[in-house]
């Protein structure tokens, strides 16, 4: 073994890349192995994972005949003793340095001159997030690796697999690895690069149970405020509690979102609409309570009564039951008994009657609004990729 290493080291310069004819391109076969996805920070847009590269290339200066050296077909040498490419993660979020800057890995060398090495590290890469379909979103991140200081016509990274090696992959608690893809390419016809893409799918159960579930439950509770007896005194406190609960859950959602408007999570405007409607419900509850506490003899406003009548579709029913007009030349007996003013006053509701009508109309429209929001929510995420 010592004689073999001595013979190989004689005249060998680890600073000169193979082959001997430097005008030829050295092809470095490479593929990526993934061990785990440690964290993906959607807010800062940084993916942290544990993985590395398997690389092999041929160095004609490191060949020998096994029979001349006691049948030794393979040797292991420190990386510092043999030329090897320094792989850099181009789109790193950390300081740019070689994946094995300390060169503490070893090389396995076959008698045919093929050199093998596996290097691993914790890799942090920039990866912008797309939260459109949160919490059913998928994120695709790229790891771009290059050999610093060499052009593509000098050293070219050649992908030998279209997917990552996930034999020793450990699944995470938040993200599922959905797919991977690897390829080699040339950038600007100068530098040869190796790119691996990984698509992560969020596990939505936690968000659904701890955020979306309570929001849906609060949305169902919101219309029930109009069923509470006004005399109980709990209407305003109930509606305010629901409103503040919506505000808390909106803060929880926003804390998990990047501070960007494009693309915005589709759930954000939906939650905002529910929050605004809850505020509107609180306002209607307060105003309606004022009407309920009015004197029995107080009459409601004709305009307000007209609006409630239209919203409750009572005016449509009345128009269908309207009596036929008198024939030309006939005098209505009704007109002889009541003046128009007296008829209008007699048709006015009391404030309490108006409050009851508003409760009914508000309850129905709240249910309709919630149904529309839920349908939009389901349709939106049913189209998620």
Q: Is the pLDDT of residue 313 over 70?
A: no
Does this model's pTM top 0.85? My answer is: no
Selected residue with higher pLDDT from 319 and 358: 358
What would the DSSP string read from start to end of 258-319?
-S-STTPPTHHHHHHHHHHHHHHHHHHHHHHHHHHTS-TTPBPPHHHHHHHHHHTTHHHHHH
Task: Compute the distance between CA of residue 73 and CA of residue 133 in angstroms, rounded to an integer.
Answer: 55
Helix-then-strand count for the chain, H and E: 10, 10
What would the DSSP string read from start to end of 2-18?
HHHHHHHHTT--TTS-S
- Select from 280, 305, 302 the least CA-distant residue to 355: 305
Question: 363: buried, middle or exposed (CB in 10 Å: 19+, 13-18, 0-12)?
Answer: middle
Task: Judge contact between 218 and 225, C-beta under 8 A.
Answer: no
Tokens standing for residue 326 = 């008198």
Task: Compute the distance between CA of residue 118 and CA of residue 270 in angstroms, rounded to an integer.
Answer: 49
What would the pLDDT profile of 246-282 be if each residue is shown by its tens digit?
888 888 888 877 776 667 888 888 888 899 999 999 9
CA distances from 156 to 26, 97, 185, 334, 340 (A): 6, 19, 9, 100, 95
Q: Is the pLDDT of residue 328 over 70?
A: no
Task: Judge contact between 292 and 355, C-beta under 8 A.
Answer: yes
75 backbone φψ class: left, alpha, beta (φ>0; ψ -120 to 50):
beta
Mean pLDDT of the region 154-166: 95
Tokens standing for residue 111 = 């008698």
The residues that bridge with 354 in the sheet, in sequence order, are none
Q: Is the pLDDT of residue 178 over 90?
A: yes
Tokens standing for residue 196 = 């691996």
Q: Whole-number mean pLDDT of the chain?
A: 84
Q: Which residue has the tokens 């040498």?
A: 77
What would the pLDDT profile of 56-76 be if each residue is shown by its tens digit?
999 999 999 999 999 999 999
* In the chain, domain spans: 13-203, 206-316+345-382
Q: Is the pLDDT of residue 334 over 60?
A: no
Task: Compute the distance between CA of residue 383 and CA of residue 380 in angstroms, rounded to an integer.
Answer: 6
Task: Judge contact between 186 and 54, C-beta under 8 A.
Answer: no
Q: Is the pLDDT of residue 301 over 70?
A: no
Q: Which CATH architecture has domain 13-203?
A: Distorted Sandwich (2.70)
The alpha-helical segments, DSSP class H, found in 190-231 are 205-207, 213-221
pLDDT for residue 57: 96
Say what the alpha-carbon torsion angle 81, 82, 85, 89 is, to the nearest 10 degrees.
Answer: -30
pLDDT for residue 98: 82
Task: Determine whether domain 206-316+345-382 maps to CATH 3.60.15.10.
Answer: no
């Amino acid at each position: 073994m010592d004689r073999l290493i001595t013979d190989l080291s004689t005249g060998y310069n680890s600073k000169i890349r193979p082959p001997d004819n430097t005008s030829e391109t050295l092809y470095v076969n490479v593929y990526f192995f993934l061990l785990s996805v440690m964290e993906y920070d959607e807010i800062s847009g940084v993916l942290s994972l544990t993985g590395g590269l398997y690389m092999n290339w041929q160095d004609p200066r490191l060949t020998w005949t096994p029979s001349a050296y006691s049948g030794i077909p393979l040797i292991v040498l420190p990386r510092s003793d043999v030329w090897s490419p320094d792989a850099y993660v181009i789109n790193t979020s950390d300081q740019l340095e070689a994946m094995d800057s300390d060169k503490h890995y070893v090389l396995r060398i076959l008698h045919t001159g093929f050199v093998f090495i596996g290097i691993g590290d914790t890799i942090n890469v920039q990866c912008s997030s797309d939260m459109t379909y949160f919490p059913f979103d998928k994120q695709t991140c790229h790891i771009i690796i290059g050999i610093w200081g060499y052009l593509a016509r000098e050293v070219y990274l050649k992908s030998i697999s279209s997917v990552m090696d996930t034999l020793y992959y450990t699944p995470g608690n938040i993200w599922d690895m959905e797919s991977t893809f690897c390829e080699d390419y040339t950038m600007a016809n100068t530098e040869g690069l190796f790119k691996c893409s990984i698509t992560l799918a969020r596990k939505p159960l936690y968000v659904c149970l701890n955020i979306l579930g309570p929001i849906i439950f609060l949305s169902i509770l919101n219309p029930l405020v109009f069923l509470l007896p006004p005399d109980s005194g709990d209407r305003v406190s109930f509606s305010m509690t629901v409103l503040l609960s919506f505000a808390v859950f909106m803060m929880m959602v926003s804390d998990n979102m990047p501070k960007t408007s494009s693309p915005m999570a589709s759930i954000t405007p939906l939650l905002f609409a529910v929050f605004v409607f809850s505020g509107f419900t609180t306002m209607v509850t307060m105003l309606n309570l004022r009407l309920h506490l009015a004197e029995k003899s107080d009459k409601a406003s004709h305009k307000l009564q007209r609006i409630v009548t239209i919203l409750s579709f009572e005016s449509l029913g009345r128009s269908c039951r309207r009596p036929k007009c008198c024939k030309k030349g006939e005098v209505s007996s009704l007109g002889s008994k009541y003046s128009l003013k007296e008829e209008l006053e007699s048709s006015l509701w009391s404030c309490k009657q108006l409050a009851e009508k508003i409760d009914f109309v508000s309850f129905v429209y709240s249910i309709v609004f919630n149904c529309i929001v839920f349908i939009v929510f389901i349709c939106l995420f049913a189209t998620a990729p």
